[in-house]
A and B are shown apart, each in its own frame.
Chain A
């Protein structure tokens, strides 16, 4: 038997093995959990996060969740060790956070409930370093 004898069938109708019908039903309950976290954020100003990789969600579930939460006004891209995107959803205070590695693969996914995700803020030490740089720029002017 040669290689040609093995019939290859291309399933034209299926671009991806994961169909829209592959929803597991695990995603909608997350909305209630998120609502609880947002109430907590408003009441106690304490941010929380949900590790999406820790939950049994199919790719279709994630798509559904992302589409349902929608897009907000702000989206931040962090360029360090691969891109990370922090996108506000249509519900302010809920952020969809995706970390990629250098090869563009998703390494972790979170939904953060915060006024501003921690990662966006500059660290005081980095600000100090930045100030030194700024001062050297000013020094170069003279």
Chain B
């Protein structure tokens, strides 16, 4: 392990052992085999940093700043933070000191200096209604700003479910005509990092991948990095064994809930949701929704807000009891099959969308 990054880290008091430990954990989070940790440590340590810090421009559109909140709360000071030192974040409205004309100047300067090379991060959806008047920065619509910034970008990261899939602004009846980045930009590689908000280490992981292999990670059919979105919440859930045994919580305060049984029947969207919460967890590894007793909302999937109610079991259109019995009898293999069956059910539920009422939420 030799190279500029490890030297930079060493100057900041990060030892090779610490770095190796970090890489082993990152590889585990990325669902890579344990041997990949060592390979990553070697390659990342050798990645050039001081000579060419990749320029990153972050544009916020129709968003709630939750994504920025999430990223800035990656436990600091951490190696994640140090990897952020390896990039040059040239424009980020919430984090930058400059304002007004100075900020816009910084943006255009960065775009010109690094033309064709910068990484563009977008959070928030792009409203198309009323000619884009719903969201403007410095008197220009998001649509205009996106098209201009995308032109010189090497790649675009659509950060959060809004940028990736339209998110909550796009939820029915979509008053602003919100669309995803990929609905507008067609000629650039786009990496979707959905989640409401996405997990901090996922963006670090993508950056680490960029630094390690000089390329963008492998993506799934929805444009998400397979390393983090390759498996469902359900597949990696620590409550999965209870699902396989057919042990389900039936309400939020019953014996099953207290014993930590599967939350499938309480509306958990884990089986159809691809994200890394189950392994990475939240708030510096403290917990995650299912561990705190609540089902997964499916926030990293397209149109999760319109998927038929957070507390409605995925199997609701069919007979949930029958399904549970099947799972109990046949076990893991059946579980997988049901996952696929449910995916089909979810889309049919989506097609037959009904307005979610308070009564639905209390079910």
Q: A31-75: contact bitstring with B at CB < 8 Å (1 yes, 0 no)?
A: 000000000000000001111011011110100000000000000
- Do A80 and B258 touch across chains, with their CB atoms under 8 A apart? no
Choose among A53, A81, A106 the residue that contacts B22 (Cβ–Cβ < 8 A): A81
Q: How far is the CB of A19 from chain B (nearest CB, A)?
A: 7
Whether a CB of chain A sits under 8 angstroms from the CB of B174 is no
Whether a CB of chain A sits under 8 angstroms from the CB of B339 is no
Given the known interface contacts A53-B279, A125-B1, the answer about A58 and B241 at a Cβ–Cβ threshold of 8 Å is: yes
Given the known interface contacts A17-B259, A81-B18, A118-B20, the answer about A102 and B25 at a Cβ–Cβ threshold of 8 Å is: no
Choose among B21, B238, B241 the residue that contacts A81 (Cβ–Cβ < 8 A): B21
Complex formed: what's the CA distance from A43 to B92 in Å?
A: 55
- Do A125 and B16 touch across chains, with their CB atoms under 8 A apart? yes
| Chain A residues closer than 8 Å to B170, beta-carbon distance | none
Within 8 A of A (CB), among B224-270: 236-238, 240-242, 244-245, 258-260
Given the known interface contacts A51-B33, A123-B1, the answer about A80 and B238 at a Cβ–Cβ threshold of 8 Å is: no
- Do B244 and A123 touch across chains, with their CB atoms under 8 A apart? no
| Chain A residues closer than 8 Å to B245, beta-carbon distance | 24
- Do A54 and B28 touch across chains, with their CB atoms under 8 A apart? yes
Complex formed: what's the CA distance from A25 to B15 in Å?
A: 39
Given the known interface contacts A49-B34, A49-B35, A105-B286, the answer about A17 and B260 at a Cβ–Cβ threshold of 8 Å is: yes
Whether a CB of chain A sits under 8 angstroms from the CB of B88 is no
Residue of B nearest to A125 (CB): B2
- Do A80 and B284 touch across chains, with their CB atoms under 8 A apart? no
- Do A50 and B1 touch across chains, with their CB atoms under 8 A apart? no
Complex formed: what's the CA distance from A51 to B25 in Å?
A: 9
- Do B284 and A78 touch across chains, with their CB atoms under 8 A apart? no
Given the known interface contacts A24-B244, A56-B238, A80-B18, the answer about A51 and B258 at a Cβ–Cβ threshold of 8 Å is: no
What bracket does the count of chain B residues touching chain A fall in?
A: 35 or more
Complex formed: what's the CA distance from A123 to B38 in Å?
A: 13
| Chain A residues closer than 8 Å to B244, beta-carbon distance | 24
| Chain B residues closer than 8 Å to A5, beta-carbon distance | none
- Do B238 and A99 touch across chains, with their CB atoms under 8 A apart? no
- Count the A residues whose beta carbon is within 8 Å of the partner chain — how many? 39
Whether a CB of chain A sits under 8 angstroms from the CB of B71 is no
Complex formed: what's the CA distance from A54 to B244 in Å?
A: 17
Complex formed: what's the CA distance from A94 to B284 in Å?
A: 29
Q: How far is the CB of A73 from chain B (nearest CB, A)?
A: 22
Residue of A nearest to B34 (CB): A49
| Chain B residues closer than 8 Å to A58, beta-carbon distance | 238, 241
- Do B285 and A51 touch across chains, with their CB atoms under 8 A apart? no
18 pairs, CB–CB < 8 Å, chain A vs chain B: A11-B258, A14-B258, A17-B259, A19-B259, A48-B35, A49-B35, A51-B33, A56-B241, A78-B17, A84-B21, A99-B21, A101-B75, A102-B75, A108-B29, A110-B24, A110-B34, A118-B38, A123-B1
Q: Residues of B at under 8 Å CB distance from A?
A: 1-2, 14-18, 20-22, 24-25, 28-29, 31, 33-35, 38, 75, 78-79, 236-238, 240-242, 244-245, 258-260, 279, 284-286
Given contacts A78-B21, A103-B284, A110-B24, 15 further A-B contacts (CB under 8 A): A14-B259, A18-B260, A24-B244, A26-B241, A56-B237, A80-B15, A81-B18, A105-B284, A105-B285, A105-B286, A106-B285, A118-B20, A119-B24, A123-B1, A123-B16
Which 3 pairs from chain A and chain B are nearest by CB?
A24-B241, A49-B34, A80-B18
Q: Residues of A at under 8 Å CB distance from B?
A: 11, 14, 17-19, 22, 24-26, 48-51, 53-54, 56-59, 61, 78, 80-81, 84, 99, 101-103, 105-108, 110, 112, 118-119, 123, 125-126
